[in-house]
Amino acid sequence: MLTKGGCPKNMLSIRDALEALEGRWKLLILFSLQPGAKRFKEISKEVTGITDKTLSKELKILEMNQLVKREVYDTFPPTVEYTITAHGKSLEKVMEELHYWGLAHRREIMGK
């Protein structure tokens, strides 16, 4: 098993991942973009509780890490859309495992 022995090399890659995904919002934003491109307001509505300021900041970091692509369309007024990149989509297994663990955690701690 990977985590047997707590190999420092493995810790480095987990650290890289955690730094790129830091906070409670990034994965939720990526999750909301899975079905397709969305505008800022649509993401904001789907990711309950996030403020516009935080969403704007998080989208910039996600773009910097090549997880999200921001596209501006030459309409009047201009339209901005966000899409998840292939690299962002590669987080699917992480999200899947977090989903299963989140369910188990709810049963364990919240007794639901």
- Would you tell me which residues interact with a second copy (CB under 8 A)? 1-6, 8, 10-20, 22-24, 27-28, 31-35, 46, 65-66, 87, 90-106, 108-110
Measured between alpha carbons, how far is residue 90 from residues 4, 63, 67, 68, 85 in Å? 25, 15, 9, 12, 9
What gap in Å lies between CA 91 and CA 11, rounded to an integer?
18
Give the shortest CB-53-to-a second copy separation in angstroms: 19
Our CB check for a second copy shows the closer of 53 and 93 to be 93
Our CB check for a second copy shows the closer of 40 and 95 to be 95
Our CB check for a second copy shows the closer of 52 and 92 to be 92
Q: Is the peptide bond before 8 cis (omega within 30 degrees of 0)?
A: no
What gap in Å lies between CA 51 and CA 78, rounded to an integer?
23
Give the shortest CB-42-to-a second copy separation in angstroms: 11
